[in-house]
Amino acid sequence: MEEERRRALRRCRVRLVAALRVAPLWGPLEARGVFTRAMLEELQSAGSRREQARQLVTDLETRGKQAFPIFVSILRDTGQGDLADLLSQACELPPVQPADVMPLEPSLSRETRNRSALERVPVPVRDAGDRFRVPPSAARGSAVDSLKRNSDLLYDLKADPCGYCLILNNVNFSRDSDLLTRAGSNIDCEKLEKRFKSLHFNVLTRQDLKAQEIVWELQKLARLDHSALDCCLVVILSHGCQTSHIQFPGGIYGTDGKAIPVEKIVNYFNGSHCPSLRGKPKLFFIQACGGEQKDQGFEVESDSPGDEARRVSVESDATPFQAPSGASDEPDAVASLPTPSDILVSYSTFPGFVSWRDRLSGSWYVETLDNVLDQYAHSEDLLNMLLRVADAVSAKGKYKQIPGCFNFLRKRFFFMCK
């Protein structure tokens, strides 16, 4: 769909949500090829008439060039000509700046203001510890905030708390499972509890759950009413393995040694099972292994003395895994997900490979993720921060690890920072 028509839908969204009669639209929208029957059934499951109207207007932007004129035509055919006129007139209006966004410098031209704002965006530098940092005052500056608010493709987080964050932390496993204790995972858990509370999430932590108990906790979260919230976040810290799958590999273990495909976990929160999260970002962070392979990497330069010294306390969470007597290495799990929109799953490692965890400082992935969120959540979107995480983790250790993500978000995601 052309940008002009997308803007028209956004200008008229409030009026459309308030007045649109959706019931007469379903048949014509299917008959004229704008939506399939399955798509319409998902739209109808969104909840109230207002929720259905809101989701319909949002999804129209993704249905191609002819979706807008066909929608206007159907509105006229179903006796909603006033709304059809509203959309037609909106297409002829020039773009307007949102009412809540103040110009950075009112006396300057638009081009000069935009250039000035971009010039003031902080440039990351390295400190003495070789960590990236952003000057604190710049990271929280009005220029960055204004640029974020001006983005059309941006998830809007206004609720406080912005959503639930469920952390599932499995440390101690039953003897029958043949899975080792995940020393260092409590450090990961404490870091992420503190971090996501600071980012305005309502954090719920559950520890040492069997597979069925994990399922119950996820279903309980999915059944909550998220209508007044803007997003949802799930963190899983556990052993993991490769599982049979349709689209994506990977599973995580309950403390009883039974595996749950992450694809199944993510599906609890899709539009059919959790209508109040439709159109809202659903984020999953998985610290676990994707398999048993250990990545030797390729030679760039010799390992630092610090890396070799740290290796004595490093473990992994891959399974099955038989550690030789006295060994300190053990492996974690990878995620899998379905393909609905507004979902992102961040993996601690590449599918098929182990994910490393330090018994003293926690996993490489969580330690790095926490540091990056601390430094950049005020100024960068989630995908950019995950690139930083991947770059930093890939440089660690004798054995190598590369985090990654499967991204089905439709917009940029910035955490809520105040």
* Tens of pLDDT, residues 283-296: 999 988 644 444 33
**Residue 289 is among the residues annotated as catalytic for this protein:** yes
Predicted confidence at residue 247, as pLDDT, reads 62
Number of structural domains the chain divides into: 3
Rg (CA), the chain: 24
Q: Burial code of 259-287, b = ≥16 C-beta within 10 A, e = fewer?
A: bbbbbbbbbbbbbeebbbbbbbbbbbbbb
Q: How would residue 104 be classed by pLDDT, with cut points 50, 70 and 90?
A: very low
Catalytic residue among 12, 165, 231, 289: 289
- In this structure, the answer to whether residues 289 and 227 fall within a common structural domain is yes
Q: How would residue 256 be classed by pLDDT, with cut points 50, 70 and 90?
A: very high
Q: Taking Cα atoms as reference points, which of 137, 369, 174, 362 lies closest to residue 254?
A: 174
Asked if the structure places residue 325 within a domain, the reply is yes
Residue 318 has pLDDT above 80, yes or no: no
Asked if the structure places residue 392 within a domain, the reply is yes
- In this structure, the answer to whether residues 302 and 365 fall within a common structural domain is yes
DSSP 3-state of 5? helix
- In this structure, the answer to whether residues 299 and 387 fall within a common structural domain is yes
Cα–Cα distance measured from residue 323 to residue 198, given in angstroms and rounded to the nearest whole number? 38
What is the strand order of the sheet 201-207 is part of?
Answer: 201-207, 163-169, 231-237, 282-287, 343-347, 404-408
DSSP 3-state of 112? helix
Residue 261 has pLDDT above 50, yes or no: yes
Predicted confidence at residue 148, as pLDDT, reads 52
Side-chain-facing half-sphere of 204: CA atoms under 13 Å: 13
Per the prediction, the chain carries an average pLDDT of 76
DSSP 3-state of 227? coil
**CATH code at 324?**
3.40.50.1460
Residue 282 has pLDDT above 90, yes or no: yes
- In this structure, the answer to whether residues 389 and 295 fall within a common structural domain is yes
- In this structure, the answer to whether residues 73 and 141 fall within a common structural domain is no
Cα–Cα distance measured from residue 101 to residue 99, given in angstroms and rounded to the nearest whole number? 6
Q: How would residue 344 be classed by pLDDT, with cut points 50, 70 and 90?
A: very high
Predicted confidence at residue 399, as pLDDT, reads 66
Cα–Cα distance measured from residue 161 to residue 159, given in angstroms and rounded to the nearest whole number? 6
Asked if the structure places residue 404 within a domain, the reply is yes
Q: What is the 3-state secondary structure (H, E, C) of 391-412?
A: HHHHCCCCCECCCEEEEECCCE
- In this structure, the answer to whether residues 284 and 192 fall within a common structural domain is yes
Q: Taking Cα atoms as reference points, which of 178, 166, 173, 243 lies closest to residue 203?
A: 166
Contact criterion met (CB below 8 Å) for 236 and 331? no
- In this structure, the answer to whether residues 82 and 216 fall within a common structural domain is no
**For residues 29-36, average pLDDT:** 90
Q: Which amino acid is at 40?
A: L
Residue 84 has pLDDT above 50, yes or no: yes
Asked if the structure places residue 120 within a domain, the reply is yes
Residue 109 has pLDDT above 50, yes or no: no
DSSP string for 83-106: HHHHHHHHHTSPP---TT---SST
- In this structure, the answer to whether residues 322 and 391 fall within a common structural domain is yes
- In this structure, the answer to whether residues 135 and 251 fall within a common structural domain is no
Q: What is the 3-state secondary structure (H, E, C) of 266-333?
A: HHCCCCCCCHHHCCCCEEEEEECECCCECECCCCCCCCCHHHHHHHHHEEECECCCCCCCCCCCCCCE
Provide the residue range defining the domain that includes 19: 3-91
Sign of the Cα pseudo-torsion (78, 79, 80, 85, in order): positive
Owner of token pair 């008439």: 49
Main-chain dihedrals φ then ψ at residue 203, nearest 5 degrees: -90, 130
- In this structure, the answer to whether residues 114 and 53 fall within a common structural domain is no
Report the range of poorest mean pLDDT among 21-35, 156-170, 282-296, 304-318: 304-318
Asked if the structure places residue 346 within a domain, the reply is yes
Asked if the structure places residue 96 within a domain, the reply is no
Asked if the structure places residue 42 within a domain, the reply is yes
Predicted confidence at residue 334, as pLDDT, reads 36
More confident residue, 332 or 61: 61
Cα–Cα distance measured from residue 284 to residue 282, given in angstroms and rounded to the nearest whole number? 7
More confident residue, 215 or 251: 215
Q: Which amino acid is at 55?
A: Q
Predicted confidence at residue 248, as pLDDT, reads 60
- Final residue in a domain of this structure, among 42, 58, 91: 91
Catalytic residue among 200, 226, 239, 378: 239
**For residues 187-199, average pLDDT:** 96
**Strand-strand pairing, 356-358 and 125-126:** unpaired
**Residue 273 is among the residues annotated as catalytic for this protein:** no
Q: Which two tokens stand for residue 171?
A: 């440390």
- In this structure, the answer to whether residues 198 and 326 fall within a common structural domain is yes
Asked if the structure places residue 415 within a domain, the reply is no
Report the range of poorest mean pLDDT among 141-150, 166-175, 191-200, 228-237: 141-150
Q: Taking Cα atoms as reference points, which of 333, 307, 302 lies closest to residue 320?
A: 333
Q: Taking Cα atoms as reference points, which of 418, 415, 308, 342 lies closest to residue 372?
A: 415
Owner of token pair 């639930």: 164
Owner of token pair 């604190």: 136
DSSP, res 54: H
Residue 95 has pLDDT above 50, yes or no: no
**Top mean-pLDDT range of 10-14, 23-27, 63-67, 151-155:** 23-27
Alpha carbon distances (Å) from 296 to 79, 142, 303, 402: 67, 45, 12, 12
140-171 tens-digit pLDDT? 444 455 555 555 689 999 999 999 999 999 99
**For residues 394-418, average pLDDT:** 83
**CATH code at 15?**
1.10.533.10
More confident residue, 399 or 332: 399
- In this structure, the answer to whether residues 141 and 286 fall within a common structural domain is no
Beta bridge partners of 333: 289
Q: How would residue 364 be classed by pLDDT, with cut points 50, 70 and 90?
A: confident
Quick check: bond before 69 cis, omega within 30?
no
Predicted confidence at residue 290, as pLDDT, reads 45
Predicted confidence at residue 178, as pLDDT, reads 86
Residue 132 has pLDDT above 90, yes or no: no
